[in-house]
Amino acid sequence: MLFGRTDRKPIVIPPKQVKEWKYSVCNYCSTGCSIELGLDDKGAVITSRGHAGADVNRGKLCIKGLQEHELFTSAGRGTEPMIRNRYQEEFQNVSWDAALDYTAANIKRIQQKYGRDSFAIVSTGQLLTEEFYTLGKLTRGCIGTNNYDGNTTLCMASAVSGYKRSFGLDGPPGCYDDFEHTHCMMAFGSNLPEQHPVIYWRLKEAREKRKFPLIVIDPRVTMFAQFADIHLPITPGTDVVLLNAMLYVIFRENLQDKGYIAAHTNNYEELYQNVQDYDPVKAQHICGIDEDTIRQVARLYAKAPAAMCIWTMGINQSTHGSDGVCNINNLNLCTGNIGKPGGTSLSITGQCNAMGTREWSSCSGLPGYRTLENEQHRQEIADFWGIDPEFFPKSRGLAQTDIFPAIESGAIKGMWLVATNPMTSMANTGRIRKMMEKLDFLVVQDCYVDVETNQFSHAYFPAAVWAEKEGCHTNTERRVNLTRNAVKPLGNSKPDFWIFNEMAKRFPNGQKIRFPQKPEEVFEEMKVLSKGADRTLDISGMTYDKIEAARGIQWPFREGTEGLKGEPRLYGDGKFPTGNGRANLIVVKFKDNNEKPDQEFPFWLNSGRLVEHFHTRTRTGKIANGNKFSPTPFMEMNPDAAKKLGFVHQQYVRVVSKRGDAVVMVQLTQRVPPNMVFIPFHYHDCVNRLTLGLLDPYSRQPAFKQCCVKIEHVDQTEAAQLNLERRKY
């Protein structure tokens, strides 16, 4: 018997007439998938495919990567430089020289009147590494402001801080290949299948071949939690308690790796004493995980021949994000799980080149993980660039999350935003709006003229996007990969690299410092700065051709290295760059400082990503199916909680916090408990109107995920209208 239509005509997609394939790397998340861009006979990019020979993605791409080639001609691209006197006025198209002169004059005016640091520069994790290095040269060497940071402070600063405190250096010590060797994985605050789908696919393949326990720690029953063997629905912001309680069990039951601790760590006694306060009997009431489960998970992890932790924003975006990272490192150091196959602390980075900015942008110091506080480092870079070392500050300036409040206080008067969109991405956007309005001068450099923050700018620089440029990214596992220039920049937009070089000409030190004209020449300069037996971040053996041939090479990859394979893991020899060569066990105490649900605001507010969108939708909001699949801001709500308040599925509601309100559509789901709601963070005028964003004391990263809200009825017709206005693409 036949079911369904018998005359079915399958949809046939005609093959695209590709004349040439160009090599590239995805410009969204940090997975680092290699992509080939298909060009037709007129040189237009008409399709893309995952590179089958790339170790990272082995031919796979997620929905964002598959559609990424549509970026080049997507709606909202900026094509001409523009200026205006006041941000309420109409922009005028001008030449690049006029826009650059106007901006340089305003930077100098502000710096002369209010001091060098009164002009801030905030960049991104999405430029190419050569562009980050050049921006660092321009900022540190020519403009000379110390208030310079990247938006990576919103996503990875806690991981950076935690790595530095534990191991003495930033840089994830593990790699994706660890999935093939581990015997137990704990994943903290990471919804891998939606956030990093191709990394998840690698993990899934490894687990299909060799079953090992997966423990997911997340307050939501995320997609990842649904695939886990054990899901720990932790109380928001209490991971420190869970980890201390696990260490308590490990020490109490003598499961620690005493040999590794004795040979390779500092501070064991202090750590041991500290965790005595975290008996699981007590801890369970704080972290919400029952004592038996804490014991079971601790035993499972400590007894595994090799065990690893991965994490994302659930750890980093917290008032104790840096402590949380240190505590993951504590767990791995105490169980001997650093630097061995399948045993590691692997932070899953957010943006495609968050690592590149960490390594080379000079945001938190000087190039190649050098610091401003180190006199020798200042001298090295000053000599290399040919300027006076006294031009450099002697300690780091403000982080992004402190730069914005400094506009309120009047310390910052002008700002240059490069490929970042604080009007959507920062916590408490109502307050950010007032700060933007207060700026004496704002220049926005972005591929998209309609990026929300541009409404407050006085100058707009249209930047080229992705493979309209050439240069490198570093992915989550320290793999440097290459994007080849596939097409010309749209209209009169220019590569960020070109814009920085042109701006440098307008400052006195720009005449002294050499600014190479090609990204590959910049890469050669970075290689020289990376070289040295004592340098872990060593890329001196790489070339563009080698990187492309290998489809990415992990650092360190020293000059003279045979073949095309870098080091997959750091600290395999148990030596750490800490002074005495041992890793630091960090004492971490729980401080209960979050805004928590109460009678007036009874729900935890959680936020996170969707697979279809990237960050503030500046790009994915314009791309075909990504936006069609997920066009509307929504809120996950537990059906029991909704029933009590009289809300039904797909009804619009107003969510209210002490900062502001947002209108969203209710999606009923058991993924969230009755005392929690979840809203994706991608949409403008949405979840970040509500968030509090208290800062981590070490990393200055905001706690986006720990605040509370109430939910109110709203007029459905008005809300639907508002929603339509939002869906402008």
Interaction between residue 61 and ligand SF4 (CB under 6 A): yes
CB of 484 to ligand SF4, least distance (A): 16
Query: According to CB under 6 A, which one of 23, 29, 308, 354 is a site residue for ligand SF4?
Result: 29
Of 31-39, 84-92, 208-216, 390-398: span binding ligand SF4 (CB under 6 A)? 31-39
DSSP 196: S
Question: Nearer to ligand SF4 by C-beta: 64 or 705?
Answer: 64
Contacts with 515 (C-beta within 8 Å, 6 or more apart), sequence order: 134, 137, 500, 501, 504
Nearest-CB residue for ligand SF4: 65
Of 58-66, 75-83, 145-153, 380-388: span binding ligand SF4 (CB under 6 A)? 58-66
Of 194-202, 220-228, 551-559, 721-729: span binding ligand SF4 (CB under 6 A)? 194-202
Interaction between residue 351 and ligand SF4 (CB under 6 A): no
Query: According to CB under 6 A, which one of 39, 45, 62, 465 is a site residue for ligand SF4?
Result: 62
Interaction between residue 65 and ligand SF4 (CB under 6 A): yes
CB of 620 to ligand SF4, least distance (A): 10
Q: Are 706 and 670 in contact (CB under 8 A)?
A: no
Give one DSSP letter per residue of 318-375, joined into a string.
STTHHHHHHHHHHHHHHTT-SSBTTBEEEE--SBTTHHHHHHHS-SSSBTTTB-TT-H
Question: Nearer to ligand SF4 by C-beta: 339 or 350?
Answer: 350
Interaction between residue 196 and ligand SF4 (CB under 6 A): yes
HEC sequence for 619-683: CHHHCHHHHHHCCCCEEEECHHHHHHHCCCCCCEEEEECCCCEEEEEEEECCCCCCCEEEEECCC
Task: State the DSSP H helix or E strand holding residue 711, giving kind and residue range, or none if neither.
Answer: strand 707-713
Cα distances (angstroms) measured from residue 729 to each of 76, 366, 490, 625, 633:
9, 40, 19, 12, 14
CB of 511 to ligand SF4, least distance (A): 40
Binding mask 198-237 for ligand SF4 (x = CB under 6 A): x---------------------------------------
Two structure tokens written together for 286:
């704080």
Query: According to CB under 6 A, which one of 23, 24, 33, 153 is a site residue for ligand SF4?
Result: 33
CB of 198 to ligand SF4, least distance (A): 4
Question: Nearer to ligand SF4 by C-beta: 198 or 668?
Answer: 198
Question: Nearer to ligand SF4 by C-beta: 49 or 108?
Answer: 49
CA nearest 410: which of 662, 610, 117, 616?
Answer: 117
Ranges of beta strands (E only) in 487-602 are 553-554, 583-584
Task: State the DSSP H helix or E strand holding residue 128, giving kind and residue range, or none if neither.
Answer: none
Binding mask 503-532 for ligand SF4 (x = CB under 6 A): ------------------------------
Interaction between residue 623 and ligand SF4 (CB under 6 A): no
Peptide bond into 556 cis (omega under 30): yes
CA nearest 250: which of 188, 310, 297, 311?
Answer: 297
Amino acid at position 343, single letter: G
CB of 185 to ligand SF4, least distance (A): 19
What are 677's strand-pairing partners?
A: 605, 637
CB of 216 to ligand SF4, least distance (A): 19
The residues in 129-168 that bind ligand SF4, with binding defined as CB under 6 A, are none
CB of 609 to ligand SF4, least distance (A): 10
Interaction between residue 31 and ligand SF4 (CB under 6 A): yes
Interaction between residue 197 and ligand SF4 (CB under 6 A): yes
Amino acid at position 553, single letter: I
CB of 31 to ligand SF4, least distance (A): 4
CA nearest 551: which of 479, 485, 487?
Answer: 479
**Number of residues located near ligand SF4, criterion CB under 6 A:** 14
HEC sequence for 251-304: HHCCCCCHHHHHHHEECHHHHHHHHCCCCHHHHHHHHCCCHHHHHHHHHHHHHC
Of 30-38, 294-302, 621-629, 668-676: span binding ligand SF4 (CB under 6 A)? 30-38
CA dihedral 36, 623, 629, 689 (to 10 degrees): 120
CB of 652 to ligand SF4, least distance (A): 30
CB of 340 to ligand SF4, least distance (A): 26
Amino acid at position 47, single letter: T
Question: Nearer to ligand SF4 by C-beta: 57 or 147?
Answer: 57
Question: Nearer to ligand SF4 by C-beta: 82 or 486?
Answer: 486
- Reading across the β-sheet that carries 34-39, which strands appear in turn? 20-25, 34-39, 45-50
Question: Nearer to ligand SF4 by C-beta: 199 or 641?
Answer: 199
Other C-beta atoms closer than 10 Å to the C-beta of 198 total 22
Interaction between residue 702 and ligand SF4 (CB under 6 A): no
Question: Nearer to ligand SF4 by C-beta: 54 or 246?
Answer: 54
CB of 613 to ligand SF4, least distance (A): 10
Interaction between residue 54 and ligand SF4 (CB under 6 A): no
CA dihedral 115, 117, 118, 122 (to 10 degrees): 160
SS3 content of the chain, % helix, strand, coil (to 5): 35, 20, 45
Q: Are 110 and 413 in contact (CB under 8 A)?
A: yes
Of 57-65, 297-305, 399-407, 543-551: span binding ligand SF4 (CB under 6 A)? 57-65
Query: According to CB under 6 A, which one of 26, 588, 708, 719 is a site residue for ligand SF4?
Result: 26
CB of 553 to ligand SF4, least distance (A): 17
CA distance 429 to 535: 40
CA angle 560, 515, 418 (to 5 degrees): 105
Interaction between residue 620 and ligand SF4 (CB under 6 A): no
Question: Nearer to ligand SF4 by C-beta: 277 or 548?
Answer: 548
Question: Nearer to ligand SF4 by C-beta: 31 or 129?
Answer: 31
Contacts with 494 (C-beta within 8 Å, 6 or more apart), sequence order: 96, 461, 462, 463, 464
Q: What is the CA radius of gyration of the chain?
A: 25
CB of 348 to ligand SF4, least distance (A): 11
- Helices 375-385 & 519-530, crossing angle to 10 degrees? 140
Question: Nearer to ligand SF4 by C-beta: 343 or 350?
Answer: 350
Ranges of beta strands (E only) in 420-530 are 441-446, 459-462, 471-474, 479-483
Interaction between residue 64 and ligand SF4 (CB under 6 A): yes
Q: Give exposure, 207-221, as e/b (b: 16+ Cβ within 10 Å).
A: beeeebbbbbbbbbb
Of 61-69, 285-293, 446-454, 579-587: span binding ligand SF4 (CB under 6 A)? 61-69
CB of 186 to ligand SF4, least distance (A): 22
What are the residues binding ligand SF4 (CB under 6 A)? Answer: 26, 28-29, 31-33, 57, 61-62, 64-65, 196-198
